[in-house]
Amino acid sequence: MNERIILDPSVHHGKPVIRGTRVPVATIISGLAGGMSKDEIAQDYEIKIADVEAALSYAADLIESERVFALST
């Protein structure tokens, strides 16, 4: 697990957030997907660029660990 990302059942229903904040990883990824820059996200949510990059890394790790099974047709 990334040291900047936590999963705590008492914070944002256990969804991944930036450590020491209530900023969800999903919010950061959505902002980037919507065209916001890393700097804009860091400023808007009062987090560090390294936190934004950690969120990207966390999301990439989730996708990489996903298992895909072919379905017979």
Residue extents of the structural domains in the chain? 5-65
Q: Provide the Cα torsion 44, 47, 49, 54; round to 10°.
A: -120
List the single range of 23-27, 59-63, 69-73 with lowest mean pLDDT: 69-73
Task: Give the percent of the chain with pLDDT over 70.
Answer: 99
**5: three-class secondary structure by DSSP:** strand
Does the pLDDT at position 69 exceed 90?
Answer: no
Q: Any idea which architecture 5-65 has in CATH?
A: Orthogonal Bundle (1.10)
CA Rg value for the chain: 14
Confidence band for 1, pLDDT divided at 50, 70 and 90: low
Q: What's the rounded mean pLDDT across residues 8-12?
A: 93
**Quick one: residue 13, left, alpha or beta (phi over 0 = left, psi -120 to 50 = alpha)?**
left
The per-residue pLDDT for 10 is 94
- Supply 68's token pair: 């895909």
Residues paired with residue 5 on neighbouring β-strands, in sequence order: 18
